[in-house]
């Protein structure tokens, strides 16, 4: 089992824990809008770290972003396997061609 799969399983296991002792449970208790906002904040911090921070800051912010993305996916009932299947489906397809194939 890889790191992200283990993390996704941990997030699922903590979803219904006590919000006083679990960050994941606290986020879930506050709802999808709060989780989405937190993901957005972490994404912005990742961008800032990429532009002005150290390598270590970027690594830390990227980890925070991935964590909060997995929390959001869990809250919406989307599995990591579904996301990786979509990535697999896109493998070998030009990013330009893939984007053009989407209905806008």
Domain that holds residue 77: 3-101
Average pLDDT, the chain: 94
The CATH number for 37's domain is 1.10.287.1080
Residue with tokens 């906002």: 37
Q: For the chain, what is the domain count?
A: 1
> pLDDT confidence of 101, banded at 50, 70, 90?
confident
Distance in angstroms (rounded) separating the CA atoms of residues 33 and 30 = 8
pLDDT-derived band of residue 56, with 50, 70 and 90 as boundaries?
Answer: very high
Could you report the per-residue pLDDT of 2-46, keeping only the tens digit for each?
Answer: 999 999 999 999 999 999 999 999 999 999 999 999 999 999 999
Task: In whole angstroms, give the CA distance from residue 104 to residue 100.
Answer: 9
Compute CA distances 93 → 55, 57, 85, 97, whole Å. 30, 32, 14, 7
Among left, alpha and beta (phi > 0; psi -120 to 50; other), residue 29 is alpha
């Amino acid at each position: 089992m890889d790191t992200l799969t283990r993390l996704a399983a941990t997030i699922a296991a903590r979803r219904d824990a006590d919000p006083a002792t679990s960050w994941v449970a606290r986020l879930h208790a506050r709802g999808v809008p709060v989780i989405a906002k937190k993901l957005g904040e972490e994404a912005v911090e990742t961008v800032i770290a990429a532009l002005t921070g150290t390598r270590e800051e970027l690594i830390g912010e990227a980890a925070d972003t991935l964590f909060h993305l997995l929390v959001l996916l869990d809250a919406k009932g989307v599995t990591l396997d579904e996301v990786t299947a979509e990535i697999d489906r896109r493998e070998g397809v030009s990013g330009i061609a893939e984007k053009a194939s989407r209905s806008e």
